[in-house]
Amino acid sequence: MTAGAAGAAGAAGAAGAAGAAALVTAVAAPVEVTRDGQVAVIEMRRPPANFFDEDLIGGIVDAAAAFDDDPDCRAIVLCSQGRHFCAGADFSGAGDFGTDKSAAAGRVYRRAAQLFDVRTPLIAAVQGAAVGGGLGLACAADFRVADPSTRFVASFSRLGTHQGFGLSVTLPAIVGPQVAADLLYRGATVRGTEAVQLGLADRLAEPGEQRAAAIAWGHEIAAAAPLAVASIRQTLRAGLADRVRSALERELAEQTRLWATADSDEGIQASLDRRTPSFTGR
């Protein structure tokens, strides 16, 4: 590459990064964007639990989509500040899900569907717990990096509700339909080492090194031919966005129905009380 071409490429990359950062600052304060060469880093900043809402998911989507237009960005790492990657929805009454769960979920899922339109490979660096919809967010990525203490929590049935965030499609695609059914039926928690064995996590990092490991992986992807990577990814994920959108419609309908039951009230309250729920089938 000539000096002029290198300068132009560097300017394009800097402009893309600056544009994405400006977009995130203006639109979604809970998200911060940085760059590590050809790898973008999108960090959720709602510690310690990183509960999501429309603004947080929208901020992630908008930042990632902005990098699709930056030819010098070849991979994205999704990570979070605080103890947990993402604890999903906050049912304590403090946020949108504390008032009208169905409406709040509908707004989140509208933006979540757009995450599957992003063209740049996405790696989730998962620390602490990815719970419920937070598991769905992790599974929206191409890859997941965990450490031995990471917890992937398919908590829905223990909250008396149906899975969401497209997990009806993504989880079986990642771990297979039988394992996915087992995890969802039991409301299971899977720790990092087992997650790698199941395929739920792709790489196991040293404790606390998920982000660094994910960025290093991003650079491995960035070193490959970008047009080839884009073509391969498009083929492997063909039709995924449409399948997720269809699943989200059913997931929201089932969640809305089940949130009206006594079992859902019990499951959510038991979770808030940190006790074992007692379900009656009503």
Tell me the C-alpha distance between 171 and 113, whole Å.
15
- Where does the pLDDT of residue 165 fall: very low under 50, low under 70, confident under 90, or very high at 90 and above? very high
Q: Does residue 17 surpass a pLDDT of 90?
A: no
Residues 175 and 199 sit within 8 Å (Cβ to Cβ): yes
Least confident of 96-105, 142-151, 177-186, 202-211: 96-105
Residues 160 and 263 sit within 8 Å (Cβ to Cβ): yes
Q: What is the mean pLDDT of residues 250-276?
A: 97
- Look up the CATH architecture of domain 15-207+225-273: Alpha-Beta Complex (3.90)
Residues 106 and 150 sit within 8 Å (Cβ to Cβ): no
pTM of the complete model: 0.89
Helix, strand and coil content of the chain, in percent to the nearest 5, comes to: 55, 15, 35
Tell me the C-alpha distance between 12 and 168, whole Å.
38
What pLDDT, on the 0 to 100 scale, is given for residue 127? 97
Q: What is the mean pLDDT of residues 246-271?
A: 97
Tens digits of per-residue pLDDT, 110-124? 999 999 999 999 999
Question: Buried b / exposed e across 254-278, counting CB within 10 Å, b at 16+?
Answer: bbbebbebebbebbbebbeeeeebe
Residue spans of the domains in the chain: they are 15-207+225-273
What pLDDT, on the 0 to 100 scale, is given for residue 93? 76
Report the percentage of the chain scoring pLDDT > 70. 90
Count CB neighbours of 56 within 10 A.
Answer: 23
Q: What are phi and psi of 3, to 5 degrees?
A: -60, -40
Query: What average pLDDT does the structure give for the chain?
Result: 91
- Where does the pLDDT of residue 23 fall: very low under 50, low under 70, confident under 90, or very high at 90 and above? very low
What pLDDT, on the 0 to 100 scale, is given for residue 70? 96
